[in-house]
Chain A
Amino acid sequence: MLLISGSGSAQAAASLPGPDHLHLAVPSGEQLDYLRYPAKGKRLLIWVSSERGQAETERSAARELAKRGIEVWLLDLNFSYFLNGDRKGFDQIPAIDLQTLLQDASKKKGVVAFAMGRAAVPILKAFGSWKAGEGRLGHLDFVLMHPNLYEDAEALQEPRYIDFGNLKGARLLILQPRRSAGVVWLDHQRDALQAQGAVVRNEILERLREGFWERQETTDYETEMGQHLADLVWDRLPKGREK
């Protein structure tokens, strides 16, 4: 059952322009804090920032996408779970919390999950561990920006990927910046996810490094692409599956 703090509706900073600041009480006892950028269209993008935290370029992108009709819920799990960038902490976020969020979101609009870095783990776990009969979504589209899905990645040893459970019904578009050690392992990662039931497509983002939208030192091209993050996401959102 979805519990929302306040008097039966989400608390919102109604007097301020821009996004609504909302808090969602979830089964683990925590509060999921998120920024909601409302829009009239039929699609909703759940955007989960990486373990590095949320950048202003992401908020700008969310605003722009909302102007184009896509509602965005922007989450920083560091903030909600007091993680301070701890990757292991991301892995331990209760799946039921994000299942609750996904379930609520999907009642209203066609949902796409967009997650970055290690933040892909909790959202994939939420989908993969969801049992039929517990409100499991039949399908879900994901766009994952350089997801870090390793269980183990030690030099000289074959990588191991996290077991997410049953990813049947998940359609994944993986965006991988070229300038990364991870680009070599895309096919391994794809195979591991497909073995868990997901449909996976990889796309390499040329001339970019991981986290390009938030780095302290960027190339001119990375700066430009960070400013056009909304376009990058917009162009890759799956069509269809709207409500």
Chain B
Amino acid sequence: MEFRKMEPVAPPALATRDLNGMAHDLSAYKGRVVLVNFWASWCPPCRKEMPSMQRLMQKMADKPFTILAMDTGESREEAEAFLKSMPVDFPVLLDPESIVAKHWKVFAMPTSFLVDKLGRIRYVLPGGTEWDDGDGIKLILEMLNE
């Protein structure tokens, strides 16, 4: 799958809590490039790309970059069960009723959005990828340099 370039557009609302109970609002991340990733533990390509997201996070540790991984349509317990075998350092947000996914018009898992430092969606990727090697990291670095 290929990244689809968007005319910069304000994102739908995204405000929810992560697995630790901490509240996250996408609008508070202006000034940072954000990868918003909709995933589920039952989704094989979601599971496959998660390690590359962790590696990406590590590569970008000193940069204004964040990953918000939106676990969609499943319970906290299901998310936690998967993450026991795949611990990650970025926030895993919970959307058990898929309310956020519906606002963002997500039709496939995984679907990822790249949000720039002004808080605008710039790219959409339906499907998985190797985030730390290829077009994904290239686009993120371009957006960080803007």
Contact = CB atoms under 8 A, between A and B. Distances in A.
A157 B12 CA distance: 11
Contact of B42 (A158, A159, A209): A209
Contacts, number: 52
Interface stretch (B24-32, B63-71, B105-113): B105-113
Contacts of A178: 73
B101 interface: yes
A133 B139 CA distance: 58
B124 A181 contact: no
Interface in B94-110: 98, 101-102, 104-109
Contact of A184 (B4, B6, B101): B101
A155 B111 contact: yes
B108 A156 contact: no
A182 B42 CA distance: 14
B126 interface: yes
B40 interface: yes
B73 A154 contact: no
A217 B44 contact: yes
Nearest to B103: A156
Interface in A142-170: 150, 153-159
B13 interface: no
B81 interface: no
Interface in A174-228: 178-179, 181-185, 209, 217
B124 A184 contact: no
B interface, size bucket: 20 to 34
A208 to B, nearest CB: 9
A184 B104 contact: no
B121 interface: yes
A70 to B, nearest CB: 31
A157 B107 CA distance: 10
B141 interface: no
B126 A183 contact: no
Given A183-B98, A209-B42, A217-B44, A159 B73 contact: no
Contact of A182 (B12, B44, B107, B126): B107
A156 B122 CA distance: 12
B86 interface: no
Given A150-B107, A183-B98, 4 more contacts: A156-B6, A181-B106, A184-B101, A185-B102
Interface of B: 4, 6, 9, 12, 40, 42-44, 72-74, 98, 101-102, 104-109, 111, 113, 121, 124, 126
